[in-house]
Amino acid sequence: MTDKQLPGFSRRALLGVFAATAVSAAPTFSKAAGFLRGGGDVRKIRMYSGRTGERIDMVYWVDGDYIKESLTEITHFMRDWRTDKTKTIDPRTVDIMAAAHNLLDVNEPYMLLSGYRCPETNAMLRSRSRGVAKNSLHMQGQAADLRLASRSVSQVFKAAHACNAGGVGKYSRSNFVHMDCGVVRTWGA
């Protein structure tokens, strides 16, 4: 038997994921939550924004419950920085982001490029790019565009896709990965 290692995934992270999925046989709202179970009873997210200069590094879930204050802070952090408008961020999206981050086995925070987008911002971006959906999940607080300096777009994409818990888009030319808690699907080159 050979021991193959996927690029960007440590052996320890993969073994933890497989152990976590064996424990999580019961159906859940999102398979991403199963990946997080291997980490114990705590879920954490780390991000920074190059646009606002803000950073978050927090526990947002403990012993089966989301921490309301943490989700409020995440919602503010992931606001539409162009308009300063907010919409409650769906915690399932945060779970997917955290699960993919755990699979990548990095300490580096995500760089958040886009979280919530108000309809006006989405329309403006759509007028400039064919890659912006008219009914984007960003407008529902259910999507994030993320980057890691220490990992390639392909590595982040593979980790998010391995969660099998929502939409994952690979934007190699723009150097980011889209993650959302919508229907499981992938796109991008």
SS (H, E, C) 60-119: EEECCEECHHHHHHHHHHCCECCCCECCCCCHHHHHHHHHHHHHHCCCCCEEEEECCCCH
Backbone phi and psi for residue 56, each to the nearest 5 degrees, phi listed first: -135, 145
Output the average pLDDT for the chain. 84
Mean pLDDT of 104-120: 96
Condensed to tens digits (0 to 9), the pLDDT of residues 11-27 reads 444 434 443 433 333 33
**Lookup: tokens for 183:** 């229907």
Which carries the bigger pLDDT value, residue 127 or residue 157?
157
| Model pLDDT, residue 22 | 34
- Span 165-171, mean pLDDT? 95
pLDDT confidence bin for 189, thresholds 50/70/90: low
Rounded mean pLDDT of 79-92?
97
Please state, in angstroms and rounded to a whole number, the distance separating the CA atoms of residues 74 and 46. Answer: 10
Give the global pTM.
0.78
Q: Are 156 and 167 in contact (CB under 8 A)?
A: no
Cα-flanking dihedrals φ and ψ of residue 21, to 5°? -70, -30
Within its chain, how far is the Cα of 141 from the centroid? 12
When pLDDT is cut at 50, 70 and 90, the band that residue 35 belongs to is: low
Judge whether 46 and 83 are in contact, CB under 8 Å. no
When pLDDT is cut at 50, 70 and 90, the band that residue 115 belongs to is very high
Kindly state the average pLDDT of the residues 166-170. 96
Domains of the chain: 28-188 (3.30.1380.10)
pLDDT tens, residue by residue, 44-73: 999 999 899 999 999 999 989 999 999 999
The larger pLDDT score, comparing residue 41 to residue 78, is at 78
